Amino acid sequence: MKKIICLLVVSVFFLVGCSQDKKTTTSKTNESQGYVFKVKDVDIAMNEKTDDFIKSLGKELEYFEAPSCAFKGLDKTYTYAGFQLKTYPKDEVDYVNAIVLTDDTVKTAEGICIGDSKDQVVEKYGKDFKEKSGGYVYTKGKSELEFIFDGDSVSAITYTAITK
């Protein structure tokens, strides 16, 4: 009987020691510096090094690269379910340039997705926006968050890094 109890105690300690908590991969960039897109337990900030999180997103559905017009190196586009991640090169390191939400399966950190209304956007983000080409542009730190509307509904959402 003592052997069984000892075996159970050792087994419990072994199982507890081997268990892992689910952790969120967090941007090393301070969230107060700009908007953060959250997907698959990953926080992605504009101007963040992609090395900090890219593997956590899993295999992309599509990948495209082209010589950068604004920087020395290659601009890269990774397409995932529901969004595209666009990067820019600087000193041989890739940084987040933009995130484009492509359907309603993903949301902003504040809960807005394609198809939501202008009123819902203003309710979540406030009235401190610039109107641009029929959309609303919010600026926070070194990033912009743009909502384009088709009538009263959100038809596009784009996070953009301010690189200047």
Count of structural domains within the chain: 1
Q: Is residue 2 part of a domain?
A: no
Structure tokens, 21: 């908590």
- The number of angstroms, rounded, from the C-alpha of 125 to the middle of its chain's C-alpha atoms is 17
Mind listing the pLDDT tens digit of every residue in the chain (164 residues)?
A: 333 333 333 333 333 333 333 334 444 444 447 999 999 899 999 999 999 899 999 999 999 999 999 899 999 999 999 999 999 999 999 999 999 999 999 999 999 999 999 999 999 999 999 999 889 999 999 999 999 999 999 999 999 999 88
Q: Is residue 33 part of a domain?
A: yes
Domain with 101 in it: 22-161
Q: Is residue 131 part of a domain?
A: yes
Q: What single string gives the DSSP state of each residue in 13-41?
A: HHHHHH------B--SS-GGGS-EEEETT
Q: What is the CATH number of the domain that holds 134?
A: 3.40.33.10
Q: Is residue 6 part of a domain?
A: no
- Whole-structure pTM value: 0.80
Q: Is residue 12 part of a domain?
A: no
